[in-house]
């Protein structure tokens, strides 16, 4: 009898490869969520991380206040990470599904809360305005309501989206202002969306961004003006075609103050009329003026405008202004009506250079110099301070 049992077992080994118990069924994958479910005071500067052990993630759903939380799966589909930091004092719900190789799926569901902020920061002002149509040189300017330190965490949360993408970089011009400039002028007729993902960004212990802010604007037609103070002419080109050829009069250059600045200016704002008062002079002083000027388009912070003036005798012949670009009243009215904020106005032919900090003179800086003051620009790639 024992010999017969041994023979049966040997036959089973030959045909089935064994004589023991069958292999156990596949174990379901394990899902790990961070911050852990039921946490009451998660740090807002963290991000949600979901990992699958023994399988891959097929779906991750995260919500707060009824809004979906965007996130990204890695290439192996074993880890999901929220794209941005978390809103302070908020509840998050997570549902994650993981699948193994042939076994049952695992569904993990739960929630956690983030700790509230002791103090918050955010945006105090923006340019362009939401929905505004701007010129191809327009910068994006964000002013914060508190000094920003460290800057890298905030800059990392700033997103500029356009299709197709356009290369650009942020530069901190002060502790409260970040300016975005593209490498080259914006392509015409492009829609741009800006999002400051500030919720959960930490400036100091207990100090967090309270909420995200999104706004959009449109880049309009390409209009670029070229002013030659030496020949007293201004040409306005739209989409590559000359639409105005204007006789002008620039600054007298009798003093530095009355010398028009050469460089790439941007139209900043306009008024009709604008009151212009001589800087640093009082009534009765030599050179004092206090006048109302029609159809004035500002191009710097040092008092330069393209504006109307009835000194037609000088336009096209001589520079007699206090630094502005004077044009024939009808042509100045046309320029006023057809200017968008951010239209480039390039001036040549003078001995005074436009400083990049003067108004929106940001295009005065070469690209590498511009992006070198991005908080995210690595020290290793900064331009050398030595000789070329």
Residues with Cβ within 8 Å of residue 200, at least 6 apart in sequence: 44, 45, 46, 84, 85, 86, 87, 88, 114, 208, 209
Out of 265, 295, 307, 322, which one is annotated catalytic?
Answer: 307
Cis, bond preceding 375 (omega within 30 deg of 0): no
- The tokens 């740090």 sit on which residue? 43
| DSSP conformation letters of 74-101 | -TTSSEEEESS---TT-EEEEEEEEE-S
Residues facing 52 on adjacent strands: 31
Q: Where are the alpha helices (DSSP H) in the chain?
A: 2-16, 151-156, 329-337, 367-371
| DSSP conformation letters of 339-351 | --TT-EEEEES-S
19 is catalytic: no
324 is catalytic: yes
Residues facing 190 on adjacent strands: 219
Out of 197, 232, 322, 324, which one is annotated catalytic?
Answer: 324
| DSSP conformation letters of 21-50 | PPPPPPPPPEEEEESPTT-SSB-TTS--EE
Q: Angle CA(161)–CA(166)–CA(168) in degrees, nearest 5?
A: 90
> Residue 357 and residue 50: Cα distance in Å, rounded?
46
> Residue 69 and residue 197: Cα distance in Å, rounded?
12
Picking from 333, 334, 309, the residue whose alpha carbon sits closest to that of residue 321 is: 309
Picking from 322, 257, 312, the residue whose alpha carbon sits closest to that of residue 289 is: 322
Which of helix, strand or coil describes residue 248?
strand
Picking from 162, 185, 168, the residue whose alpha carbon sits closest to that of residue 343 is: 185
Which tokens sit at 56?
């891959």
Cβ neighbours of 209 (radius 10 Å): 28
User: Could you tell me if 323 and 304 are in contact, meaning their C-beta atoms sit under 8 angstroms apart?
Assistant: yes
Which positions are catalytic?
307, 324
């Amino acid at each position: 009898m024992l010999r017969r049992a041994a023979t049966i077992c040997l036959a089973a080994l030959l045909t089935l490869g064994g004589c023991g118990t069958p292999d156990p069924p596949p174990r379901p994958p394990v899902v790990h969520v961070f911050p852990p479910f039921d946490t009451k005071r998660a740090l807002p500067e963290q991000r949600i991380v979901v990992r699958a052990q023994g399988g891959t993630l097929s779906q991750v759903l995260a919500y707060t206040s009824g809004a979906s939380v965007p996130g990204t799966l890695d290439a192996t589909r074993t880890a999901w990470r929220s794209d941005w930091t978390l809103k302070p004092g908020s509840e998050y719900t997570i549902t994650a599904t993981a699948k193994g190789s042939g076994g049952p799926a695992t569904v993990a569901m739960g929630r956690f809360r983030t700790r509230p902020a002791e103090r918050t920061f955010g945006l105090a002002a923006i340019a362009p305005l939401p929905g505004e149509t701007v010129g191809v040189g327009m910068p994006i300017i964000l002013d914060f309501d508190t000094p920003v330190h460290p800057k890298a965490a905030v800059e990392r949360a700033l997103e500029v989206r356009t299709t197709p993408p356009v290369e650009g970089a942020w530069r901190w011009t002060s502790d409260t202002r970040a300016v975005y400039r593209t490498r080259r002028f914006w392509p015409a007729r492009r829609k741009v969306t800006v999002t400051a993902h500030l919720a959960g960004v930490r400036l100091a212990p207990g100090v967090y961004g309270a909420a995200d802010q999104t706004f959009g604007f449109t880049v309009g037609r390409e209009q670029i003006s070229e002013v030659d103070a030496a020949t007293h002419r201004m040409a306005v080109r739209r989409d590559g075609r000359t639409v105005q050829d204007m006789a002008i009069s620039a600054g007298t250059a009798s003093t530095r103050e009355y010398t028009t600045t050469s460089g790439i200016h941007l139209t900043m704002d306009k008024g009709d009329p604008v009151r212009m008062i001589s800087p640093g002079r009082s009534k009765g002083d030599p050179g004092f003026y206090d006048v109302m000027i029609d159809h004035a388009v500002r191009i710097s912070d040092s008092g330069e405008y393209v504006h109307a003036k009835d000194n037609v005798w000088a336009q096209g012949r001589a520079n007699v202004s206090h630094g502005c670009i004077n044009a024939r009243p009808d042509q100045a009215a046309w320029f006023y009506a057809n200017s968008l904020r951010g239209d480039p106005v390039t001036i040549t032919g003078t001995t005074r250079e436009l400083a990049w900090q003067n108004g929106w003179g940001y295009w005065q800086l070469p690209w590498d110099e511009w992006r070198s003051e991005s908080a995210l620009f690595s020290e290793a790639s900064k331009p050398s301070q030595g000789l070329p």
